[in-house]
Amino acid sequence: MTDEELRAWADARAGRAPTRSEADALVGRAERRRRAGWLWWLWVPVIPVGLGAAAAAVVLGVWLTRPAAPVAPAVVVAPEGVAPVAAPRSLPPGVHVVGDDQVEVGAGGEVVLTAPGPEAVWTLTRGSVAVAAATRAPGEQLTVTSDDWTVRVVGTRFVVTHAPFTVRVDEGVVQVGRGAERWTVRAGDRFERGVVVRPPPPPALPEVEALRQQVLGGDRQGARAGLHQRLAARPGDADAWTLLAQLEARDGRPDDAVAAWREVIARGSPAAAQRARFEAAVLLERRPAEVIPLLEVFLASPDPLAAEAGLRLGRARLAVGDREGAVRALEQVAREHPGTGPAAEAMQLSK
């Protein structure tokens, strides 16, 4: 039986994808089994159960009515060598720590700390400022002003630019105001020219697991397209290369499969690369000159498939006329894996 026949059979044995109603039925069955699992409680004497339940209720009540713990403010750690400064003062370009906040004034920029304390006001006179503001307690706030613009925050990370006035929020939410007008700018948003702009999200890449499901569902072309899309964006994704190699091998395209396995060898973990060498060597059986370097590297590390790999290496060397090298590999298989099938075959071949 050939590998192609085995794969054709395997494809024909693909199972059906569960439907939502089947999933709901499964959840229902699991719920019933779980409930049934608790029936043994009926055998427990009633009085101890009642006492235990009462005690548990008391403990629960005490726990539920405990005073709420105060929320600790987030801590911004100062970069090494940056000393905290006392407000109010003018901050030149560079990184500064003011209280628990971290401020990075851009080149050519200036920030004046016009009001210290719990309702701090910083004035951006020129350039831009990036702020990692610590979480404020109720009643406290930080305001950044720039001309007639104001930015109020309660714990966030954002960048304000003086001219043209823009705000980019990296974390949390800030409120931008001018006069009576107010704009809420959330993480990922940018405020510019008086409007909040949300940049379009980058197109989501298909996950390898979802693509594997697609293969199992029979949509190989779709899966292949998804894999190429993913690999164009993330060429270092060894899992995607592995799935592509398996897909190409299944579809009877050994050259493409070998090319994908070579990517796994170059980019994957040592274990993934080791497996890729073996798989590529199996696919390249009819090109022994290419098999030899793959298996020589493969056999340099201990592996459960070493016996079979050694046998394949011996065969490949025989095929290219390297009888001496072949005998060496075959004798090594016979010596290191006695009693195994590959060893028996290696002994026969080496005679």
Q: Which residue in the set 172, 254, 310, 342 belongs to the binding site for another protein (CB under 8 A)?
A: 342
Tell me which residues in 275-304 interact with another protein (CB under 8 A). 275, 303-304
Which region among 5-13, 68-76, 83-91, 182-190 touches another protein (by CB under 8 A)? 5-13
The alpha carbon of residue 98 and the mean position of all alpha carbons in its chain are separated, in whole angstroms, by 35
Q: Does 5 bind another protein (CB under 8 A)?
A: yes
Q: Which residues pair with 113 in a beta bridge?
A: 122
Distance CA 310, CA 308 (A): 5
Q: Does 49 bind another protein (CB under 8 A)?
A: no
The binder of another protein chosen from 93, 116, 217, 325 (CB under 8 A):
217
> Taking CB under 8 A as the criterion, which residues in 226-255 touch another protein?
242, 246
Which region, judged by CB under 8 A, interacts with another protein, from 17-25, 79-87, 102-110, 194-202?
Answer: 17-25
Q: Pick the closer one to another protein by CB: 17 or 55.
A: 17
What is the C-alpha to C-alpha distance for residues 107 and 90, in angstroms, rounded to an integer? 14
Size of the site for another protein (CB under 8 A): 48
Angle at 62 between CA 56 and CA 66, to 5 degrees: 145
Least distance between another protein and beta carbon 15 (Å): 3
Q: Contact between 209 and another protein (CB under 8 A)? A: yes
State the Cα–Cα distance between residues 177 and 167, nearest whole angstrom: 11
Alpha carbon 135 to its chain's center: 28
Instruction: Confirm or reject binding of residue 314 to another protein (CB under 8 A).
Output: no
DSSP 303: -
Out of 23, 51, 54, 82, point to the residue binding another protein (CB under 8 A).
23
Given a contact cutoff of 8 angstroms between Cβ atoms, the answer to whether 120 and 136 are in contact is no
Q: Is 1 in the site for another protein (CB under 8 A)?
A: yes
- Residue-wise DSSP of 189-224: -EEETTEEE-PPPPPPPPPHHHHHHHHHTT-HHHHH
Q: Quote the tokens at residue 16.
A: 């059906």
192 belongs to the binding site for another protein (CB under 8 A): no
* 340 binds another protein, rule: CB under 8 A: yes
Largest CA distance in the chain: 96
Task: Choose between 73 and 206: whose C-beta lies nearer to another protein.
Answer: 206
Of 61, 266, 341, 348, the one binding another protein by CB under 8 A: 341
Report the SS3 class of residue 137.
coil
Shortest Cβ distance from residue 88 to another protein (Å)? 43
Residues 24-43, mask of contacts with another protein (x by CB under 8 A): xxxx-xxx-xx--x------
SS (H, E, C) 68-107: CCCCCCCCCCCCCCCCECCCCCEECCEEEEECCEEEEECC
Between CA 315 and CA 322, with CA 319 as vertex, the angle to 5 degrees is: 90
User: Is 266 an interacting residue with respect to another protein (CB under 8 A)?
Assistant: no
DSSP at 161 = E
Residues contributing to the site for another protein (CB under 8 A):
1-3, 5-10, 12-18, 20, 22-27, 29-31, 33-34, 37, 207, 209-210, 212-213, 216-217, 242, 246, 271, 275, 303-305, 307-308, 340-342
